[in-house]
Amino acid sequence: MIPPDKIEEVRLANDIVGVVQEYVALKRRGQNHWGLCPFHQENTPSFSVHPGKGIYRCFGCGKGGNVFSFLMEVEKLTFMEAVKALAERAHIDLPVYSKREGDAPSEVEQIVEANQTARDFFHTQLLSTPTPGARHALEYLTGRGFTNEMIQAYMIGYAPEGWEGLAERARNSRIPLDVFVKAGLLKIGQQAGRPYDVFRDRVMFPIRNLAGRVIAFGGRRMSEPEPGEPSAKYINSPETAAYTKGRELYGLWEARNEIRRHDRVILVEGYTDAISLASSGIRTVCASLGTALTEQQARLLLRFTPNVFILYDGDEPGLNAAKRAAEVMLSCGAQPRIVEVPGDEDPDSFVRAHGPDEVWALVNGARGLVEFQTDRGKRSNLPVAQIARELIASAALIPSSIDREAFLQEVSGKTGLSLDALIAEMTQIRRPQNLRETRRRKSVWPPVGAARDVIEALLSSPEIQQEFMPKLQIDLIKDELLRTLAAAMISMFESRGEAAPEILATEFVTSPVSDFLASPYNDVLESLQDRDLSDSDRVSRDRRRAASGLVAMQLEVANFELDAVQQMLRQQELSAERITELFRQYHDVKKRIELLTKEKNPNTP
């Protein structure tokens, strides 16, 4: 195992705000940073990051923890994989350690490793192998305006002709061949039983997630297919443990910093559209992987910016797809704008023919869905009522009643129909349930009670730990998990002088304790009364809470003992000696309860 001190060094070297911002756009409010939660669907930011303590907390779904638990949750990593990833990010060398059974790489990690091996192989084939196929692929890319900088940045590659190029590379790696098969990179021949390449004579586009890890590929055919070959111009990796197509966006990792800096994103459909625009200097661009935009992809975009410009092909299918994408964005609480490419051109051909300035001119002239649809309808001579009904269906998707009415007011202004009529028509339409904002149930752990109060107070105000930690009796805590946490707090207090939740979270990354440990630093923000609480007032409040809670814990036990004695006294055939002993116990417990009650409520007569 990696020594705890080394793990703590990795945690301290990774600023939690910087790590979270690679997945979520955060804005500072007071001491905390806020954004849309990456773990559940929401339209209003309820995800909070406390940089001083290295803790995050979502008030919508209850998720919380430190930088390790965040990366584990968002990337589906094991604890050791998260430690290794963050160590690499901070350029920290980890010591060689003996692996335990639980330290084995997950299927996700194995597939990612196989994909990254394939990415390096394809990239080398494109740039360093003087074969006719590789030269043809490179000429194709440069002919489309892809600069060498973009080819390197997007790690574009070439899958060579033949059946065993990657298979041979896989055999010489330390990764089992069956992992390459699971990743969709190899298949096993039915007759010979030998592995062969899935991607052959194709330009390869690696698809990276928000951690920059290769999770899949798209491949474009460079020659006419032979009999038995896939006829599709583009083929993609299958869905795997590491990759779900409708949840990823091509180029978002490469563009994320530019998107944050400019606070806008241009959404296109395909790989070549995205890279052509990036090669021309338009870097705030990503693609929906050539399929209809999904709600998960829309929410992924909205973590970085609410300003989405949809730039699809200029033909009728492309405009229809842009409308559907805009409706998905509307359902997620955004107000997207649609960019129309003149004629039947696509973004790739348009930027190559006209240059980036003309693209920016189109983007600056982008229109909202109402104006876009009414103009399209008028060009097609559609009746006003039909145009209005289509827009009313779009309005029904908007989660905010205020935004919905503003949308309908714009429809009224464009069509001349009254707002009352539009609202009356819309009341007959139900919003699809799957597009409504959803929230996970908050965890019911830990149970409400005195033990929880004491532990929350000790975590919220470390200043009182010296006074109260020695008084914490873990044998009085009934809940097993809470008892385990209390034991860890006492152990850390004795060794470090303070039980810090951001460090404790490392010991509980896969349990509800991680969510609970994040709450003392953020839950006070839910109360307007506590929002302006000074440090001294907070400490005083928590001192009272801890003192009262410790007494209450003893009271809970004493009342339990009293009930037990009373139950025994009700039993028949007790000896006189046994009855005398039980009455003595009864009076002793009653006296203890009276003293504890007086200690808890000193002002009660």
Q: What is the mean pLDDT of residues 528-537?
A: 59
- Residue 9: inside a domain: yes
Per-residue model confidence (pLDDT) at position 89:
87
596 in the same domain as 469: yes
Give domain status of residue 605, yes or no.
Answer: no
Whole-angstrom distance, CA of residue 323 vs CA of residue 286: 18
- Classify residue 16: in a domain, yes or no: yes
Inside any domain, residue 188: yes
Does 363 reside within a domain?
A: no
337 shares a domain with 292:
yes
Strand ranges, E, within 104-248: 157-159, 186-188, 195-197, 202-208, 214-221, 234-236
Question: Looking at residue 106, what is its pLDDT?
Answer: 78
Domain of residue 61, CATH code: 3.90.580.10
d(Cα 505, Cα 515) in Å, to the nearest integer? 9
pTM of the model: 0.70
Is residue 393 over pLDDT 90? yes
Question: Is position 179 within any domain?
Answer: yes
The DSSP bridge partners found for residue 338 are 310, 367
Domain of 238: which CATH number?
A: 3.90.980.10
User: Are residue 212 and residue 255 in the same domain, yes or no?
Assistant: no
pLDDT for 441: 47
Q: Are residues 194 and 300 in the same domain?
A: no
Q: What is the mean pLDDT of residues 188-206?
A: 89
CATH code where residue 543 lies: 1.10.860
Please report the pLDDT score of residue 522 as a whole number: 44
Domain that holds residue 164: 107-243
**Cα–Cα distance between 487 and 480 in angstroms, integer?**
11
Question: What pLDDT digit, counting tens, does each position of 402-419 carry?
Answer: 999 999 999 999 999 999
Q: Which residues contact 579 (CB under 8 A, 6 or more apart)?
A: 569
> Is position 278 within any domain?
yes
Burial 301-332 (b: 16+ CB within 10 A, else e): bbbbbbbbbbbbbbeeebbebbbebbbbbbbb
CA atoms of 580 and 506, how far apart (whole Å): 52
pLDDT value of position 438: 43
What total number of domains does the chain contain?
A: 5
Tens-place pLDDT, residues 141-175: 999 889 899 999 999 999 999 889 999 999 999 99
Q: Both 260 and 387 in a single domain?
A: no
Q: What is the mean pLDDT of residues 487-494?
A: 88
Please give the pLDDT value at position 99.
54
Calculate mean pLDDT across residues 70-97. 84
Mean pLDDT of 527-533: 45
Based on the domain organization, do 454 and 592 belong to the same domain? yes
Tokens of 365: 């002239």
Say if residue 563's pLDDT is above 60: yes
Q: Which range scores top for mean pLDDT: 4-18, 77-91, 170-184?
A: 170-184
Same domain membership, residue 209 and residue 132: yes
276 in any annotated domain: yes
Residue finishing a domain among 243, 271, 294: 243
Residues 234 and 210 in one domain: yes
CATH code, domain carrying 250? 3.40.1360.10
User: Which residue has 């980890």 as its token pair?
Assistant: 94
pLDDT of residue 498: 85
Is residue 269 domain-shared with residue 328, that is, in the same domain? yes
Judged by DSSP in three states, 491 sits in helix
Q: What is the pLDDT of residue 478?
A: 84
| pLDDT (0 to 100) of residue 528 | 33
Phi, psi dihedrals of residue 220, rounded to the nearest 5°? -100, 130
pLDDT at 220 over 80: yes
Task: Kindly report which listed range (49-53, 236-240, 405-409) carries the lowest average pLDDT score.
Answer: 49-53
Residue 234 predicted with pLDDT over 50? yes
Q: Which of 407, 425, 442 is the last residue of a domain?
A: 442
Closest by Cα among 67, 47, 45, 63 to 55: 67
Summary mean pLDDT of the chain: 85
Name the domain boundary from 326, 358, 390.
Answer: 358
352: pLDDT strictly greater than 80: yes
pLDDT classification of 443: cutoffs 50, 70, 90: low
Residues 213 and 164 in one domain: yes
- For the record, the structure tokens of 549 come out as 């809670």
Supply the pLDDT for residue 517.
80
Same domain membership, residue 348 and residue 324: yes
pLDDT range class, residue 520, cuts 50, 70, 90: low
Same domain, 186 and 256: no
